Chains A and B, each alone.
Chain A
Amino acid sequence: MRWGVLVLLVALTAALTPADRERLGAVFSGPVDSLKSAYQTTVARQILKLAPLDGVCEFVASNTGDSLNDLYYASQVSGALGCNFAKEGAEGTLMQEITAEGASISKLFKGISSLANLNLAVDPTLSGKISAALKKDDSVMAHALAYLAAAALPGDVPADVYDTIEDVAHRADTIGTARSFDDGLMETAMFLKGALVLSQKQGKAALSGEMVKGFTAYMTSNKNKASQSSLFYTLIGLDALSNNNLAVPTSLSVSGGTVISGEGANFQVVLVNPLGEQVTGSEASIQSAVVPATGAALFKTGPMEGGNGAFSVSPLPNPARGVYSVGVTGSVPAGFVAPDPAKFKVKVVLPVTVEGSSLKIVDVDDNRAMMTSDLSGGAAVAKVDLSSRLTLDFNIADNAGKVALHQVFVRFTNTKTQQTVYFVAQADLNKRYSLDVNFRTAAAKSFGGVAGDYSVDLILGDATLASAVVTNIATLTLDLAESKEVLAAPEKAAKPEITHVFRQPEKRPPQAISSLFTGLVLLPALVVLGVWAKLGANLSGFSFSLSGLGFHLGLLAVLGIYVHFFLGLIDMFATMKWLAIVSLFTFLTGNRLLASIAAQRKEKK
C-alpha cells in the first residue's frame, strides 16, 4: 500500500544548508566594482568552492593604487587566484609601512599579509613589533589582526601572542547558545579566523570545544543578513571553523526534501561541518524511532546506510500511521567534534477509506425509517422536514484496521445561498462514528430556519492524512412551513467620511465689555479711599522707626514677589524661596512694630 513519509521540524541547523550555499553564491556573483568587492567576492567564492569570476585579475591589475589598502586587497586576490600580480615599488611601500615607528597593528597586519601573499620575504623579527603594537591597542580586533600577522611570519609562533587567545575568547558573551563579542560580527569573525589559523600553525587548539560550538551557533545565526559585507564575514567565520584539523564542530540535519512519498521512500540525514560540507569518514546511526505513546517502531536501530557524511535508512515494512520521534547520533574521525545527538520528527501518512456506512432518515413521531442508504451507490437524495431525524453511522479504516481521526465533520451547504452548517461526528469506544440530527430542533437552531436544497459532505482531516478527504454523501431538501429569508450580505460600500472637527475655542466677550468691567472693578478702590479720607483716616501716626519702615517695606516686597509670580517671571519654587526670606523679615519687623504700638497704647491708658 502506498504510504508517505513526512519529515517535520528539521533540527536547528548549526551549519549552512544547500539552499543557503546557493543563495550566498548568488550574492557573491559580481559585478566587481572596487578592489574591496573584488577581494570579498574572490574570497567568498573560494570558501564556497565556486569557480572564480572572469576578469578579476585584470581588474585588480589595472585598478590598484599605491596605498596600503589597495596593495592589501590586490595581494589577497592575487594569492587566492594565483594572478602573479606585480606592482612597481609595492615591496618598498609595504616595507616602509611595516618598519615605521609605532606602526599600528592594522598596518602591520596589512603589510605582512600583503608581502606573504605576493611571495615576498617577510622578516621573522617583526613578531616583536606585533607584540609592541598589541600592548598599545587591546581591542578584540587588534588581537585578531595580530594573530593573522603572526601566522604569516616564518618560523615558530610567538608564545606571548598565542597565549592571549584564550583570555580574549573569554571576553565574548553567550546569549542563549550563541557566543559572540560585543563589537559584533566582523570582530567575532576575524577573531575566529586569527585564533584558529594561529592554533593550526601551533598545532594545538587554544579554544575549547564548548567555545567553538558557541561561536558556530552565532556565525550560522547571521547567515540570513542582508548586506554583502555581513555575509562575507559570516563566511569568513564559518570557513575558519570548518577548515582546520584541530576541532571542527559538526552537526546532523535532514536532507532530501521534506515530503517523500511512494514505494522506495527513505529518510536521509547528512553530517556536515559549519559550511555545510559533508564530513568524510563519519558514521551515523539510529538510536530510536518510535511513536512516544505507543512504542511502534519506524526504523531499525543501528548504523544507517551510506557514509562520508550522507546517510539514509529505509522504513520497516508496513509502518503504522503517526508521528515518530527519531533519534540519530553521529561519530566523526579525529580533528572533528562529534555532533550533538539529534531528534527529528518523522510522520507516516496513510490513506483511509470510509466503510460500513449507514444513512437513515427517520420519522420522529412513529420511528419509521423513511429512507435507508449505505452510500455504496453514490450520494443519497431525500426530503426532510420538521418531523425528520437524520442518522449517519460509519467506520474509517486504513490497511491496519479502524482508526480515529482528529477532524470528522458533516457539512450541509445550502445550494442557493452557499451558507454552511457543520456537525461533528463522534466516535464511540469501538471507533464507530455516528451523527444524529433532529430537524425539529436543528432546523431553527443550526439551519437558521432557511429551507431549500442542501448538499451533504463528509469531511475527514488529520495530521496523518496527506490531504483532507471530502465526499458528497447526500442531497437533502429541507421543507419548512415558513422559511426565513437569508440575511443580506453586509454593505460593502464605503461609509461616509468623518472629518474631524477640532475643538472650537470658547467664545470670549468683546474687548469693550471686558475693559469696561475692569474699570468698574477698580472704581470701588478709589471710592473707599475717599470714604476713608472723609472718615478721618490719616498717616499722622506713621512711625518712621526701623521696624516701622522695615515692616512696610517687607509687605511691599511680598507684594512685589506676588506680582513677579503672576507675570510668570518666577515659578512657584523661586516664589516660595523668596517668600520664606522676606516673610521672616516682615514678621520680625512687624512683631516689633505692633508690640511697640501695643506698649504705647497701654501707656496712654
Chain B
Amino acid sequence: MSSPSICEVGSRLVQEYTTKTPQKLKLIDAYLGYIMVTGIIQFIYCCLVGTFPFNSFLSGFISTVASFILGVCLRIQVNPANNIVFKDISVERAFADFIFAHGVLHLVVLNFIG
C-alpha cells in the first residue's frame, strides 16, 4: 500500500480539525492566527525600514509573541483532551490567569514602547 500523499494528509487534517475540535478551541485558534499575522506584519515593516527606534519595534513584536504564548497556554489548559493533566485548574481559573498576565504584559509593553 502506498503511503498517503501530502495532499491527502492535509485534507484529512483539515477535516478532522473542523469536525472534532470544540468551538471554544476554534475561537482561540482564530485569535492565535490573528496575533501571529500581526507579529509577521510588524517584522516585515522592521525589515523594510530599519530598527529605529529599536525599543518600539521590540515592544511591539514581543507583545505579539507573548500574547501568542499566553493564548497557547490558555488553549492547552482549556482543551478537554488535557483534562487529566489540568484537573485542578478549571477553565475559569485558566481564563483569569490569562487576563491577569495580559494586564501585566500590556503595562510593560506600553512603558517600553516609548
* Chain A residues proximal to chain B, CB less than 8 Å: 506-509, 513-514, 517, 520-521, 524-525, 527-528, 531-532, 535-537, 555, 558, 562, 565-566, 572, 575, 579, 583, 590-591, 594-595, 597-598, 601
**Residues in chain A near residue B23, CB distance under 8 A:** 535-536
Q: A535-B26, A598-B91 are in contact. List 17 more A-B contacts (CB 8 A).
A: A506-B52, A506-B53, A507-B50, A509-B48, A513-B49, A520-B41, A521-B38, A521-B45, A524-B38, A527-B37, A528-B33, A532-B27, A535-B27, A583-B103, A594-B95, A595-B92, A598-B92
**A562 in contact with B110 (CB, 8 Å):** yes
Partner among B30, B37, B48, B103 whose Cβ is within 8 Å of the Cβ of A558: B103
B90 interface residue (CB < 8 Å to A): yes
User: How many inter-chain residue pairs (CB < 8 Å) link A and B?
Assistant: 71
B73 interface residue (CB < 8 Å to A): no
B99 interface residue (CB < 8 Å to A): yes
**A562 in contact with B106 (CB, 8 Å):** yes
Separation of A479 and B48 alpha carbons in the complex (Å): 74
Partner among A521, A532, A555, A565 whose Cβ is within 8 Å of the Cβ of B41: A521
Separation of A520 and B31 alpha carbons in the complex (Å): 17
When C-beta atoms are compared, the residue in chain B nearest to A583 turns out to be B103
A-B contact pairs, 22 of them (CB 8 A): A506-B52, A508-B52, A509-B50, A513-B49, A517-B44, A525-B34, A525-B38, A527-B34, A527-B37, A528-B30, A531-B34, A536-B23, A555-B99, A562-B107, A572-B111, A575-B107, A590-B96, A594-B92, A595-B92, A597-B92, A598-B90, A598-B91
**Residues in chain A near residue B53, CB distance under 8 A:** 506
Separation of A566 and B108 alpha carbons in the complex (Å): 11
**Residues in chain A near residue B38, CB distance under 8 A:** 521, 524-525
**Residues in chain A near residue B50, CB distance under 8 A:** 506-507, 509
Separation of A507 and B48 alpha carbons in the complex (Å): 13
**A521 in contact with B42 (CB, 8 Å):** yes
B101 interface residue (CB < 8 Å to A): no
Separation of A517 and B90 alpha carbons in the complex (Å): 39
Residue with the highest number of chain A CB atoms closer than 10 Å, among B53, B90, B113: B90
**Residues in chain B near residue A527, CB distance under 8 A:** 34, 37
When C-beta atoms are compared, the residue in chain B nearest to A575 turns out to be B107
**B45 in contact with A517 (CB, 8 Å):** yes
When C-beta atoms are compared, the residue in chain B nearest to A520 turns out to be B41
Separation of A355 and B90 alpha carbons in the complex (Å): 113
B68 to chain A, nearest CB (A): 13
Separation of A119 and B95 alpha carbons in the complex (Å): 105
Decide: A517 near B41, CB < 8 A? Known: A528-B34, A555-B99, A558-B103: yes
Separation of A353 and B34 alpha carbons in the complex (Å): 104
**Residues in chain A near residue B52, CB distance under 8 A:** 506-508
Chain A to chain B: the 7 pairs with minimum beta-carbon distance, closest first: A594-B92, A528-B34, A509-B49, A506-B52, A531-B30, A524-B37, A517-B45
A41 to chain B, nearest CB (A): 70
Partner among B30, B41, B42, B107 whose Cβ is within 8 Å of the Cβ of A535: B30
Residue with the highest number of chain A CB atoms closer than 10 Å, among B31, B45, B52: B45
**A566 in contact with B48 (CB, 8 Å):** no
A121 to chain B, nearest CB (A): 86
1/0 per residue B16-57: CB within 8 Å of A?
000000010011001101100110011011001110110000
**Residues in chain B near residue A532, CB distance under 8 A:** 27, 30
B28 to chain A, nearest CB (A): 10
A400 to chain B, nearest CB (A): 83
A520 to chain B, nearest CB (A): 5
A578 to chain B, nearest CB (A): 12
**Residues in chain B near residue A508, CB distance under 8 A:** 49, 52
Separation of A431 and B33 alpha carbons in the complex (Å): 100
**Residues in chain B near residue A517, CB distance under 8 A:** 41-42, 44-45
**Residues in chain A near residue B106, CB distance under 8 A:** 562
Separation of A514 and B46 alpha carbons in the complex (Å): 11
